[in-house]
Amino acid sequence: MKLGSIKRTLIIAALAVVIIMPALSCGRAASCLKTARKSGATTGQVNVPVNANNASNLGSLEFELVYNPGILQPESVAKGELADNAMIDFSFARSGRVWVAMVDSNGLSGSGSLAIITFRRVGSGQTAATLTLENVRAYNATTLIDIVTGTTAGSLTTPPAINFAH
């Protein structure tokens, strides 16, 4: 078995573990994953990038972006610039939650967008939309050891954040 094949197998196994493991407790922030409003009319589409700041060898990541379904409806999820080579999966199966998981056997490092979640605004012109990140699980690409995370709540204008401890 080649080293590349073993590494891919380990990353896929880590992603499976990520999906099964319970949420991790908060830790000290060494890098930050956050969402920020990219566009924001009171009707129409809103693109919400989920960004990583100073990620280091992030092999797999799973999170849920929680939103008010009376204000926003998800339409799509696309890879962000930092996750260009990652495999990504997502689900809108639970109302009020967008589940996103990604894996990259080379490890994601640096700052930039991981995923772009496109919402359609619904309701009667409400502009405040609280966004929180929950059930965050992150693992190192080389060691497959979990990266302790913590989150802070936000909105489309004040982003929620996931803080990674290295």
Whole-structure pTM value: 0.73
In contact, 88 and 153? CB cutoff 8 Å = no
The tens digit of pLDDT for each residue in 59-103 reads 999 999 999 999 899 999 999 999 999 999 999 999 999 999 999
Q: How many domains does the chain contain in total?
A: 1
Domain enclosing residue 113, as ranges: 3-164
**What's 37's domain CATH number?**
2.60.40.680
**Short-list 76, 103, 104, CA closest to 90:** 76
